[in-house]
Amino acid sequence: MQSTNEYGQGKTHATGESHVPGKVQEAAPEGLEKTLPDSIHPTGKEPGQSTNKTHAKEGGDASIVPKKIQEKLPESVERAVPNIIHDTGDKK
């Protein structure tokens, strides 16, 4: 793709090493890239620490933690919390 469109397609939004092939990154909308776990495709300021989104299942509803707090926590912190409190789907 030559340039980025209104969906962010045309470039990658990864901030670290991604497991997603480069051509797929460029074709995917930015929103899709940002929903992938940082362990697969990091998009946060510090790879592995994406914020401004929840990593709990069901869009954050699988957690007793308020959504605004979920969105500010680094992904590594969210994933460290037991699933009974904040279910990220990780097996612990």
Enter the pTM of the model.
0.48
Q: What does the pLDDT read at residue 48?
A: 55
pLDDT digits (tens, 9 = 90+) for 8-21: 788 888 888 888 99
Mean pLDDT of 43-61: 78
CA 58 to chain centroid: 14
pLDDT digits (tens, 9 = 90+) for 57-80: 999 999 999 998 988 888 888 888
Burial of 32 (0-12, 13-18, 19+ CB in 10 A): middle
Band of residue 83 on the pLDDT scale cut at 50, 70, 90: very high
